[in-house]
């Protein structure tokens, strides 16, 4: 969701050397993005990792640093690294470390949820930059990553004309974002009964049991990508290959948006206002309860917000997306 801001920085500073610093686990997301001259993976949560970035910044001697994260840690890294001008949101008690930046909007004492695409672009507006006409997320991958993807698809015996439906049952954030594995298993059966399709199951590190459970419960033929250890870089062309993605409210939904893939998003604990943009090929399935949105990593109750969303409802909305966009 920050990629429109990346594009804005590059278009407004075309001759600048732009270096992205991102946590190691997420580097594959922005690899090959043309707006960066270099992307550096970091581990800033350890003392050694913190000081490694500080040392790197002192060698680079940046003229400007732009913080898209909200933590005081990230601002302290740039400040300690001797960055001349640092811009980011003035929040979390870090204003004294910044040269400037916008303040978030408030609802009473709480920060108002706004679409993250606009949240990041507000930093660009504060800097008086010209905003790109298109503010849709965009992602890229190299020819070598595409080749690996093609090899995997061939291994799965997926042909160029096959309809591919992707399912993403996990979430790095926590179990509160996760729809029931039993429901994913049933959904796969519904797709297999109506559509002549191949079903790809996308799972990340630590989600092997989820994948095994879904496959064991379903009579549909499901291709599990888990054993092939698909990382966030290789995931990009695989999701682009899909005709539809069904996912929890987590990172792969934004891959789908970036690649114009229709996506059905099952939402539980999160506030949909953070992602309320670029929804022309997206359907959102959620139930409004007194306790939602809670943003808790684990539901302290019965996970009712997700259990109330039945496979038949997700299938119905997903089929509408397929019927609408397969014709185009």
Q: What is the pLDDT of residues 119-135, one digit of tens each?
A: 999 999 999 999 998 89
Q: Tokens at residue 15, please?
A: 């001759």
Q: Which structural domain range is residue 187 located in?
A: 144-325
Range in 182-186, 213-217, 300-304, 318-322 the model is least confident about: 300-304
Q: Are 275 and 1 in contact (CB under 8 A)?
A: yes
* 92 shares its domain with 219: no
Mean of pLDDT values over 313-317: 97
In this model, does residue 328 exceed pLDDT 70? no
Of 126, 153, 180, the position where a domain reaches its end is 126
Q: Specify which residues 11 forms β-bridges with.
A: none
Contacts with 27 (C-beta within 8 Å, 6 or more apart), sequence order: 39, 41, 232, 233
* Chain centroid to CA 327: 27
* 168 shares its domain with 295: yes
In this model, does residue 165 exceed pLDDT 70? yes
Q: Specify which residues 19 forms β-bridges with.
A: 38
Range in 17-26, 231-240, 245-254, 318-327 the model is least confident about: 318-327
Given this model, what pLDDT does residue 198 score?
Answer: 97
Range in 83-97, 120-134, 164-178 the model is least confident about: 164-178
Of 94, 126, 158, the position where a domain reaches its end is 126
Given this model, what pLDDT does residue 263 score?
Answer: 98
pLDDT per position as a tens digit, 256-308? 999 999 999 999 888 999 999 999 999 999 988 888 887 787 877 778 888 99
CA distances from 227 to 25, 122, 201 (A): 18, 41, 11
* 169 shares its domain with 121: no
CA-to-CA distance for 119 and 74, rounded, in angstroms?
17
| Helices and strands (H, E) in the chain, number of each type | 12, 12
Range in 160-174, 187-201, 244-258 the model is least confident about: 160-174
Looking at the domain assignment, is residue 133 inside a domain? no
* 227 shares its domain with 299: yes
Q: What are phi and psi of 100, to 5 degrees?
A: 165, 180
In this model, does residue 327 exceed pLDDT 70? no
Cα torsion 237, 238, 243, 246: sign: negative
**Three-class DSSP labels, 163-212:** EEEEEECCCCCCHHHCCCHHHHHHHHHHHHHHCCEEEEECCCCCCHHHHH
Contacts with 232 (C-beta within 8 Å, 6 or more apart), sequence order: 25, 26, 27, 28, 29, 251
Which pTM value belongs to this model? 0.93
- Which CATH number fits the domain that encloses residue 207? 3.40.50.2000
Domain count along the chain: 2
Looking at the domain assignment, is residue 26 inside a domain? yes
């Amino acid at each position: 969701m920050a990629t429109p801001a990346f594009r804005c920085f590059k278009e407004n500073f075309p001759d600048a050397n732009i270096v992205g610093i991102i946590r190691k686990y997420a580097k594959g997301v922005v690899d090959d993005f043309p707006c960066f001259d270099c992307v550096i993976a970091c581990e800033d949560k350890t003392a050694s990792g913190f000081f490694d970035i500080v040392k790197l910044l002192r060698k680079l001697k940046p003229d400007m640093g732009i913080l898209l994260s909200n933590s005081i840690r990230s601002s302290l890294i740039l400040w300690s690294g001797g960055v001349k001008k640092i811009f980011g949101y003035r929040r979390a008690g870090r204003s004294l470390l910044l040269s400037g930046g916008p303040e978030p909007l408030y609802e009473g004492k709480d920060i108002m949820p706004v679409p993250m695409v606009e949240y990041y672009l507000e930093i660009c507006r504060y800097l008086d930059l010209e905003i790109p006409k298109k503010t849709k997320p965009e992602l890229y991958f190299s020819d070598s990553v595409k080749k690996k993807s093609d090899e995997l698809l061939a291994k799965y015996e997926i042909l160029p004309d096959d309809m591919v439906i992707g399912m993403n049952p996990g979430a790095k954030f926590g179990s509160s974002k996760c729809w029931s594995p039993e429901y994913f298993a049933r959904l796969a059966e519904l797709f297999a009964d109506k559509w002549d399709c191949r079903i790809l199951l996308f799972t990340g590190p630590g989600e092997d049991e989820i994948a095994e459970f879904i496959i064991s419960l379903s009579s549909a033929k499901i291709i599990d990508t888990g054993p092939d250890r698909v990382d966030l870089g290789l995931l990009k062309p695989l999701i682009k290959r899909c005709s539809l993605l069904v996912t929890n409210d987590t990172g792969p939904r934004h891959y789908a948006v970036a690649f114009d893939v229709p996506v059905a998003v099952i939402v539980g604990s999160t506030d949909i206002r953070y992602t309320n943009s670029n929804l022309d090929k997206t359907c959102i399935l959620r139930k409004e309860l007194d306790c939602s949105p809670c943003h808790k990593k684990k539901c302290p109750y019965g996970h009712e917000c997700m259990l109330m969303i039945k496979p038949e409802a997700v299938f119905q909305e997903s089929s509408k997306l397929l019927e609408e966009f397969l014709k185009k």
